[in-house]
Copies of this chain bind each other. A is one copy, B any other.
Amino acid sequence: MTQSSLTSLLGITHPIIQAPMAGASTPAMAAAASNAGALGSLGCAMMKPDALRDLGQEMKSQTNRPVNFNFFSHQEPQSDAATGEAARALLKPYYDEHELGEVKDAQPTHFPFGEDICDAMLEIAPKVVSFHFGLPQAELVEKLKANGSVILSSATTVKEAKWLEENGADAIIAQGFESGGHRGFFLETEDACIGTMALVPNVVDAVSVPVIAAGGIADARGIKAAMALGASGVQIGTAFLNCVEAGIPDIHKRELLASDGSNTRTTKVFSGRPARGIVNRYMNDLRAHEPDLPDFPIMNTLTGPLRKASAGKDSPDFVSMWSGQAVDLNRETTTAELIQSLVTEAGL
């Protein structure tokens, strides 16, 4: 697969995807990325159909280039009520510390991609719909494809890449262990922590669709390396978090700029699924409890008020400061300028 096969498939100029980062990427960022010739992405995992329809309108007013709407296709949580109550008890002292009242009920507040969301996406008809944690049911994938949307999803192993190809993905994001935020595994356990350098060539050998490298890529050197490994393009997340368009708390931005990359790790304490972020007090405090926490996204519901309160106090202690391992390359810029410099320096 060549670089041109991917740009042609996605209708973009440069083989760069601005990663969808729910809670961090913004419509302004996605529009700027798409207008700069890359693929701008929107992290829509927590949105309801009406909000999505509004977002679709907003994006059409900001760019006529392809845009990627990203969703989660996770399994429904299996945790029992006792697990939820135990987690609520663990969080009670932190809620008290922040004067947040009763701990929220241990219930999921957002759901996997289903028919109602699919209907909204059929109306919006974006060029690209991407998924994390596998794919939604086959019928919905077929509808989106018949409607003209290109389907992407992330693989963390060769087995997942093959499964995605067999189940309709038009291109595969090979997500290395270096990536910030949620790891997209869905067939594997969390033990399969394969780095980008090892994952990409093995996935390229295993599938016939274009492969997009993700994880640890933050500058032109990373782009050139990904291409050398056989990728047709790259997905970059963390490097965009210090762009002015990023919708993250100031404390998160400062911690990103201060990190040398050695202080991130994957954790389940924020959402119930492993995600990579900068280590803070809360991650350390609850580390020993990780195996006993309720499933994604119940844990995400429980920690929401804490994350918000901590950000409001400009404290890093309870904020989910997602970050990939190449964060030491981050600098303050704009989305357009970042993409232009990547394109120029990588000779794309």
Q: How far is the CB of A122 from chain B (nearest CB, A)?
A: 35
Closest chain B CB from A241 CB (angstroms): 15
List, in ascending order, chain B residues with CB within 8 A of A329's CB: 201-202
Chain A residues in the interface with B (C-beta under 8 A) = 157-159, 176-178, 188, 191-199, 201-202, 205, 215-219, 221-222, 224-230, 260-263, 265, 279, 324-326, 328-329
The answer to whether B202 touches A222 (Cβ under 8 A) is no
Of B176, B188, B262, B263, the contact of A197 (CB 8 Å cutoff): B176
B194, A325: Cβ atoms closer than 8 Å: yes
Whether A191 contacts B326 in the complex (CB less than 8 A), given A178-B198, A230-B221, comes out as: no
Copy number in this complex?
2
Cα A226 to Cα B228 with chains together (Å): 9
A178 touches B194 (CB 8 A): yes
Decide yes or no: A260 and B328 within 8 Å by CB, A197-B222, A228-B224 being known contacts: no
Nearest chain B CB to A271's CB is how many angstroms away? Answer: 19
Known: A191-B265, A193-B177, A262-B188. A219 touches B201 (CB 8 A): yes
- Report how far A195 CA is from B325 CA in the complex, Å: 7
**Nearest-Cβ distance from residue A221 to partner chain B, whole angstroms:** 5
Distance of A219 Cα from B228 Cα, bound (Å): 11
Partner pick for A158 among B176, B228, B261, CB 8 A cutoff: B261
- Residues from chain B with a CB closer than 8 A to the CB of A217 are 197
In the bound complex, residues from chain B placing their C-beta under 8 Å from that of A263 are 192
A224: B residues at CB distance < 8 A? 225, 228
Q: B226–A158 contact, CB under 8 A?
A: no
With A261-B194, A279-B191 as given contacts, are A199 and B159 in contact (CB-CB < 8 Å)? Answer: no
Give which listed residue, B158, B198, B222, B260, contacts A157 with CB less than 8 A: B260
Contact B221 A324 (CB under 8 A): no
**A191 surroundings in chain B (CB, below 8 A):** 265, 279
- Rounded to whole angstroms, the CA-CA distance of A208 and B176 in the bound complex is 28
CA distance A82 to B340 in the complex (A): 60
Please state if B219 and A197 are interface contacts (CB–CB under 8 Å).
no
Is B194's CB under 8 angstroms from A197's CB? no
Chain B residues with CB under 8 A of A178: 194-195, 197-198
Determine the distance from Cα of A328 to Cα of B261 in the docked complex, in whole angstroms. Answer: 28
